[in-house]
Amino acid sequence: MSALWTIFRRDLTLLLFGAPGRGGALLPLLFFLAVAMLYPFAVGPDAKLLARTGAGVIWVAALLAAILPLDRLVEPDLEAGFFDQWALRGIAEEGVLSLRILAHWLSFGVPLMLAAPLAAGLLNLDGAQLWTVELGLLLGTPGLAAIGVTIAALTAGLRAGAALGGLLAIPLAVPLLIFGAGSLQPGGEGGLLLLAASSLAALAIAPFAAGGAIRAGRE
Amino acid sequence: MQPCRLAAYDLACRRGDRLLFRGVSFELHGGEALHLAGPNGIGKSSLMRIFAGLLRAYNGHVEHEGALALSDERPALDTHRPLGEALAFWRQVDRAGEARADFGLEDLLDVPVRYLSTGQRKRAALARLAASGARIWLLDEPLNGLDTHWGASAQAAIEAHRALGGIAVIASHQPLQLQKLRTLSLLEHLP
Closest to B93 (Cβ–Cβ): which among A6, A19, A218? A6
Domain boundaries, chain A: 3-217
Q: How far apart, in Å, do the first and last CA atoms of chain A sit?
A: 32
pLDDT of B177 reads 87
Confidence of residue A195 (pLDDT cuts 50, 70, 90): very high
C-alpha pair distances (Å), B121 with each of A88, A163, B86, B116, B150: 20, 31, 11, 6, 12
Cα–Cα distance measured from residue A71 to residue A10, given in angstroms and rounded to the nearest whole number: 17
- The residue of chain B nearest to residue A9, with distances taken between CA atoms, is B89
Higher pLDDT, A21 or A100: A100
Confidence of residue B100 (pLDDT cuts 50, 70, 90): low
pLDDT of A157 reads 81
Is any Cβ of chain B less than 8 angstroms from the Cβ of A17? no
pLDDT of B191 reads 83
Confidence of residue A1 (pLDDT cuts 50, 70, 90): low
Q: Do B94 and A3 touch (CB under 8 A)?
A: yes
Task: Please say if the pLDDT value at position A110 is more than 90.
Answer: yes
Higher pLDDT, A194 or A189: A194
Cα–Cα distance measured from residue B104 to residue B153, given in angstroms and rounded to the nearest whole number: 10
The three-point CA angle A23-A158-A143 to 5° equals 60
- Please choose, from the candidates A142, A139, A153, the residue with its C-alpha nearest in 3D space to the C-alpha of residue A182: A139
* B151 and B103 Cβ atoms separated by less than 8 Å: no
- Please choose, from the candidates B12, B64, B158, B163, the residue with its C-alpha nearest in 3D space to the C-alpha of residue A88: B64
Mean pLDDT is lowest, of A15-24, A198-207, B74-83, for A15-24
Contacts of A216 in chain B (CB under 8 A): none
Confidence of residue A213 (pLDDT cuts 50, 70, 90): very high
- How many cross-chain Cβ pairs, A to B, lie less than 8 Å apart? 60
Task: Please say if the pLDDT value at position A212 is more than 90.
Answer: yes
- Interface confidence, given as ipTM, is 0.91
pLDDT of B131 reads 87
Task: Please say if the pLDDT value at position B1 is more than 70.
Answer: no
Cα–Cα distance measured from residue B98 to residue A72, given in angstroms and rounded to the nearest whole number: 31
C-alpha pair distances (Å), A128 with each of A183, A186, A192, B96, B97: 12, 11, 14, 54, 56
Cα–Cα distance measured from residue B25 to residue B7, given in angstroms and rounded to the nearest whole number: 7
Cβ-based neighbours of B143, under 8 Å, separated by 6 or more: B151, B154, B155, B172, B174, B176
pLDDT of A208 reads 97
Mean pLDDT value of segment A12-31: 84
Best A5, A88, A219 member to test B by mutation, with max B CBs in 10 Å, is A88
pLDDT by residue (tens digit) across A35-93?
999 999 998 888 888 888 888 899 999 998 888 888 889 999 999 999 999 999 989 99
Domain hosting residue B183, numbered range = 5-189
pLDDT by residue (tens digit) across B136-171?
999 999 998 899 999 998 999 999 999 988 999 999
Best B62, B87, B93, B139 member to test A by mutation, with max A CBs in 10 Å, is B93
Q: Do A89 and B94 touch (CB under 8 A)?
A: yes
Counted residue by residue, chain B has a size of 191
pLDDT by residue (tens digit) across A136-181?
999 999 999 999 999 999 999 887 777 888 889 999 999 999 999 8
Q: Do B69 and A79 touch (CB under 8 A)?
A: no
Give the total number of structural domains in chain B.
1
Looking at CA atoms only, how far is residue B59 from chain A in angstroms? 14
Q: Do B70 and A10 touch (CB under 8 A)?
A: no
C-alpha A193, offset from chain centre: 19
Cα–Cα distance measured from residue A105 to residue A141, given in angstroms and rounded to the nearest whole number: 7
Task: Please say if the pLDDT value at position B41 is more than 90.
Answer: no
pLDDT of B115 reads 93
Q: What's the mean per-residue pLDDT of chain A?
A: 90
pLDDT of A207 reads 96
- Please choose, from the candidates B165, B92, B148, the residue with its C-alpha nearest in 3D space to the C-alpha of residue A8: B92
CATH label of the domain that carries residue B55 = 3.40.50.300
